[in-house]
Amino acid sequence: MSFPFDENVAPESVGMRAKKLEKVVNTFKQQHANGGFPGGQLVVRRKGKLVVNEAIGVARGFRSDESTSALNTTPETLFPVYSTGKPLAGVAIAILEDKGLLDINTPIADIFPEFAKNGKEKITTLDVLTHRSGVLLPHLAGKFDIWQNREAMKKQLADAVPVYKCGTLAYQPGEFGWILSEVVARTDGRELADFVEQEIIAPLQLPDLQFGLKDNNYEAIAHSYWQGKDKVMVAGFNVADNYEGLSNDPGFFNSRNTSFTLIANAASLAAFYEFLINGGISHNGKRIVSEKILKEYTTRQLFGWDKSVKTFLALGRGFMTGTSTPSLYGWWNTKQCFGHAGVFSCLAFGDYDTGLSVAIVTNGNKGLGDLLKRFVPISHGCRAACL
């Protein structure tokens, strides 16, 4: 098959230890066997080559009362990967900045005048990229009719009263995409999801990265499952409340909010991070964004206590970055890593130190503790396998 489903190469050919990498794959398989998730994919790329491409379990049909029969996971199976799409939105903003079309340090109200209400007149695009705008809209959870109506969303954004003072770190699950989409529309004329598709996904030749269902058969896309406690709060919203009903609804995806409607497979996500590791150059040699601008987005811009997720976060611009202490990317010294998680089931990242591009896509969600418990050993193991 063709890129990004290349033929696997021997780990040694790209400077990796086969035994250590085998241990990583076995850890992934054991997590599945222990009930960590119904189905998933694990992909590792290095030096432009595919090293690991694992698929396991069921994508759909895990619940006995589901309307569809069991669907086994293959490397090509598409999964809802939620917030792993935020970095694509970040790169879209980087492209506009690189072209001199957008100044991320000026108030959003300069191009979206209606936004300058209720104390929002000084909020910048950079504040949104780094989750410091203070704007949270938990009352919009499940309001698919509003999500899909640009005029209704513009009014929601204009009327919003910040929950926190601008500059306060408070992760924005959906607001990140809603605000940035309006910024892009006012700057470029296209919706953000369309801009990403045309300026990033198409030149990268990664059609399996997409916001919304588009032409795909909904019944062929993996189902996301809640396996955790009854109450897990994020940004004022209980994620566990009717999780499967809301997050698997076609209306959820068809809003095409770049914060959480990305549908993808691990192979395509890892290939996207390979493009970032390569400094903004695609696998066929096309430059999409300058390396200088890209580095500003993929390296740490701030670190602090996040009031939405209730944990410490290190952030770039649209990316979650690593730390010197344990992070999603390993047990220690992950400062050169950048990526993003999706709910509590997915993670994709790149590592400038090792040149690795990794994607872990699953459909089981329990909470932040389980996310760390499952993904840190895999991320660390991949990095430790590099010579």
Q: Determine whether 355 is exposed, middle or buried from the number of CB atoms within 10 Å of its CB (0-12, 13-18, 19+).
A: middle
Position 108 in a domain: yes
**Are residues 129 and 185 located together in one domain of the fold?**
yes
pLDDT higher than threshold 80 for residue 69 = no
Q: What share of the chain is helix, strand, coil (3-state, %, to 5)?
A: 35, 20, 45
283-to-3, 275, 290, 292, 383 alpha-carbon distances in Å = 9, 7, 15, 19, 22
Position 182 in a domain: yes
**Are residues 362 and 224 located together in one domain of the fold?**
yes
Q: DSSP secondary-structure letter at 205?
A: T
**Are residues 114 and 245 located together in one domain of the fold?**
no
**Are residues 146 and 72 located together in one domain of the fold?**
no
Q: What confidence score (pLDDT) does residue 68 get? A: 76
Residue-averaged pLDDT of the chain: 96
**Are residues 28 and 95 located together in one domain of the fold?**
no
- 182-218 confidence digits (pLDDT tens): 999 999 999 999 999 999 999 999 999 999 997 778 8
- 113-125 confidence digits (pLDDT tens): 999 999 999 999 9
- 342-369 confidence digits (pLDDT tens): 999 999 999 999 999 999 999 999 999 9
Alpha-carbon distance of 305 to 52, in angstroms, equals 35
Beta bridge partners of 16: 386
Position 209 in a domain: no
Q: What confidence score (pLDDT) does residue 219 get? A: 86
Give the Cα-Cα-Cα angle 84, 228, 59 (nearest 5 degrees).
Answer: 55
Report percent pLDDT > 70 for the chain. 100
pLDDT higher than threshold 90 for residue 340 = yes
- 273-282 confidence digits (pLDDT tens): 999 999 999 9
For residue 90, which of 211, 177, 189 has the smallest C-alpha distance?
A: 177
190-to-194, 196, 198, 254, 385 alpha-carbon distances in Å = 6, 10, 10, 16, 42
**Are residues 261 and 362 located together in one domain of the fold?**
yes
Position 170 in a domain: yes
Instruction: Using pLDDT thresholds of 50, 70 and 90, give the confidence band for residue 66.
Output: confident
**Are residues 35 and 137 located together in one domain of the fold?**
no
Bridge-based pairing state of the strands 225-226 and 364-365 = parallel
pLDDT higher than threshold 80 for residue 164 = yes
Query: Six-digit token pair at 326?
Result: 């344990």
Instruction: Using pLDDT thresholds of 50, 70 and 90, give the confidence band for residue 1.
Output: confident
Position 69 in a domain: yes
Segments forming the whole domain that contains residue 170 = 90-193
Q: What confidence score (pLDDT) does residue 235 get? A: 81
| Amino acid at the residue 86 | K
Position 333 in a domain: yes
Domain end among 158, 193, 228: 193
Instruction: Using pLDDT thresholds of 50, 70 and 90, give the confidence band for residue 99.
Output: very high
CATH code for the domain of 65: 3.40.710.10
For residue 9, which of 39, 45, 51 has the smallest C-alpha distance?
A: 51
**Are residues 254 and 108 located together in one domain of the fold?**
no
Query: Six-digit token pair at 197?
Result: 């598709």
The total of structural domains in the chain comes to 2
Lowest mean pLDDT among 39-53, 120-134, 231-245: 231-245
- 302-324 confidence digits (pLDDT tens): 999 999 999 999 999 999 999 99
Cis bond leading into 4, ω under 30°? Answer: yes
| Strand ranges (E), the chain | 39-46, 49-60, 71-72, 79-82, 210-211, 225-226, 233-234, 237-238, 262-264, 302-306, 311-315, 320-321, 337-342, 346-351, 356-362, 364-365
Position 259 in a domain: yes
**Are residues 237 and 378 located together in one domain of the fold?**
yes
5-to-69, 277, 300 alpha-carbon distances in Å = 26, 18, 31
- 8-49 confidence digits (pLDDT tens): 999 999 999 999 999 999 999 999 999 999 999 999 999 999
Q: What confidence score (pLDDT) does residue 176 get? A: 98
Q: What confidence score (pLDDT) does residue 65 get? A: 83
Q: What confidence score (pLDDT) does residue 300 get? A: 97
Edge to edge, the sheet with strand 210-211 lists: 79-82, 262-264, 210-211
- Phi and psi for 314 in degrees, rounded to 5? -110, 130
pLDDT higher than threshold 80 for residue 89 = yes
**Are residues 281 and 365 located together in one domain of the fold?**
yes
**Are residues 62 and 94 located together in one domain of the fold?**
no
Q: What confidence score (pLDDT) does residue 56 get? A: 98
**Are residues 149 and 45 located together in one domain of the fold?**
no
Report percent pLDDT > 90 for the chain. 93
Position 15 in a domain: yes
